[in-house]
Structure 1
């Protein structure tokens, strides 16, 4: 068997050099892939690593760029008209499918291309997917762009395929859109999607933390039957003020309490929002028949409130929580009695 062989098929040169392990198409090195196995696996891997949408852009961009390479190679040998006349036979000889220009107008920079039984459709079928794929459309857009020196893009206008055969038509036309812009747009879209996802995660986490802070910062503590205590501390905004009022009223109803002690020991500086919150809570508590009591007003806090003209009128106020609890117990008609030493 001869080590070197050469054939001419439809004007296309194929050469083999078995001794060197080389296969050439039109004098350039090429390699053969099984379409439905090796080539499918290659494309499947790209999709697995990058994701289906990214793989679509990758294949389209790769097709466009390889088309530009083809155009440079043949443009050096022949005219644009001759190249476009000979390329369909060359692609058919290379196993890319039966290609035909159904319409070609170089003056308008437009063409309609039909391809039967192309390798891309076979891969798509082997993948069990629908759609024409993006490589060949991008490829022919790249070929025509390189040949005429103007940006050409594509649109698949017709596509039919089954396990035995396929047919697609590709419209080629002038466009300001390029494969590089497609890549940038895709990257920007992915970046924006990532940013949106991160913002949503941050927002969800912020909501969870706010909820946790509200639960921890304003617990409602039943100290005795009918008596509740809630510490008032930290920073207040309108949302927390409304939530604090709602929780206090719900706790009174739930525990059937007669009194609510608001412990402001943790408040170092009284502002208008905290004051309005206290007024709103105490008024609401009175409306449902319970008694509000304020505890923990230190001399310093009392002086500051007075200097600012802040007064808690008609409210029972105590310096310590202990005093407030004793007062509440007395109002309930109870008392704390020290247990006698049984050993005496």
Structure 2
């Protein structure tokens, strides 16, 4: 067996050197991959690691950059653009990239329509069980023409399947429309990153919102308990910060507790309030008025001398309400009002 072999395939030179283990295509080192197995596995792995959409952009960007490399090679050797485009269909066919033909080509308008039959990308996509065309070849030809024409060219792929060959690879046929556009893989990557970032932000916002709702619910349950101390007498502490939502919730819970326990009195303990503001005052007024409307007696407990002086200085008065300095005094009053007497047990 000869150590070195060389053949010419439709004008394209291929060389093998078994001693060095090299294979050259038009004088440059290349390697061979089985399309439906090795190449498919390579692309499948990229999708598995990065995800389907990122892999699509990776393939498109890689295709675009390799196209720019091809154009750069011909620009360096001084080939005319028309001559290069005339050579490329045979070169790509010899490399197994499919049967390529320019259906339309207008260098003045920087536009072209390229048809490709039986390309390797369609074979891989079909082996993957997918229906949408790949992005490598479209990106590749966009990059190639962008380099040759020194203008940004982008692409659109339309893929067809011949009804005569639907079960074989010979059924693949696609057209790539190439045209001037500001779009580049960099723009696609930037848009993808922004989309991913926005999706991440939206997910985080949803998580924060859900957690906030849970915490608010927990705080409402913990901050405004209604405690039955004796038959007919309830106590609820008023503490912490109030907003309109908590004010409404506080009122609703207090009224519901009176109904559930068949209570006749509700003691509102404001010992935890250090400063009385308009929202707390309006909450107390709303609760006490609502309690009276359903036939129960509201009582205010825990107004310290300091809080009383502050309320007086602000012109805040809880008119027509029984107010006590301590919760103990309020409970004793409520017990007396109920006609209940607490008797100390005598030691025997």
TM-score by length of 1: 0.96
1:158 deviates by 3.5
What SS does the aligned partner of 1:261 have?
strand
Give the drift of 1:339: 2.7
CA contact (8 A) 1:64 1:139 kept: yes
Q: How does 1:12-91 map to 2 (within 5 A)?
A: 12-77=12-77, 78-91=79-92
Give the whole-Å Cα distance in 2 for the aligned partners of 1:73 and 1:264: 84
Task: Name which of 258, 273, 277 aligns with 2:279.
Answer: 273
SS where residue 74 of structure 2 aligns?
helix
Q: Gaps spanning 5+ residues in structure 1: where?
A: none
Q: CA deviation at 1:292?
A: 0.8
Quote the Cα distance in structure 2 between the aligned partners of 1:257 and 1:164.
Answer: 83
Q: Secondary structure at the match of 1:310?
A: coil
Deviations 1:302-340 (A, max 9, x none): 111111110000111111111111211222222222233
- Structure 2 unmatched ranges of 5 or more: none
Q: What is the aligned residue count?
A: 342
CA distance in structure 2 between the partners assigned to 1:44 and 1:269 by the alignment: 66
- Partners of 1:223 and 1:129 lie apart in 2 by 70
1:227 equivalenced with 2:233 (yes/no): yes
Note if contact 1:75-1:83 (Cα within 8 Å) is conserved in structure 2. Answer: no
- How big is the alpha-carbon RMSD for the aligned residues of Structure 1 and Structure 2? 1.3
Report the Cα distance in structure 2 between the residues aligned to 1:256 and 1:168, rounded to whole angstroms.
Answer: 79
CA contact (8 A) 1:231 1:263 kept: yes
Question: Residue 265 of structure 1: CA displacement?
Answer: 0.4
3-state SS in 1 of match to 2:58 = helix
- Write the mapping of 1:53-202 to structure 2, written as runs, cut at 5 A: 53-77=53-77, 78-160=79-161, 162-165=166-169, 166-202=172-208
Return the alpha-carbon distance in structure 2 between the equivalents of residues 264 and 309 of structure 1. 18
CA distance in structure 1 between the partners assigned to 2:35 and 2:261 by the alignment: 74
Q: Helix, strand or coil: the match of 1:278?
A: helix
Tell me how far 1:160 sits from its aligned partner. 2.7
SS at match of 1:171: strand
Summarize the Cα distance change of 1:163–1:134 in structure 2 as closer, same or farther, 3 Å threshold. Answer: farther
Query: How far 1:146 moved relative to its partner?
Result: 0.7
Cα distance between partner residues in 2 of 1:173 and 1:59? 20
Q: Name the counterpart of 1:247.
A: 253
CA contact (8 A) 1:97 1:118 kept: yes
Distance 1:225 1:117 in 2: 88
SS at match of 1:140: helix
* Map 1:255-266 → 2, pairs under 5 A: 255-266=261-272
Mapped to 1, the partners of 2:263 and 2:122 lie a distance apart of 75
- 2:63 match: secondary structure: helix
Q: In structure 2, how many angstroms separate the alpha carbons of the residues matched to 1:163 and 1:60?
A: 27
Cα pair 1:72 1:146 within 8 Å, conserved = yes
- Superposed CA deviations along residues 6-49 of structure 1, whole A, max 9, x for unmatched, are 11101111111111111111111111111111111111111112
Distance apart, 1:163 and its partner CA: 4.8
CA distance in 1, matches of 2:112, 2:313: 86
Length-normalised TM-score, structure 2: 0.95
Per the TM alignment, residue 115 of structure 1 is displaced from its structure 2 partner at its CA by 0.8
Contact 1:122 1:163 in 2 (8 A): no
- Structure 2: distance between partners of 1:160 and 1:315: 86
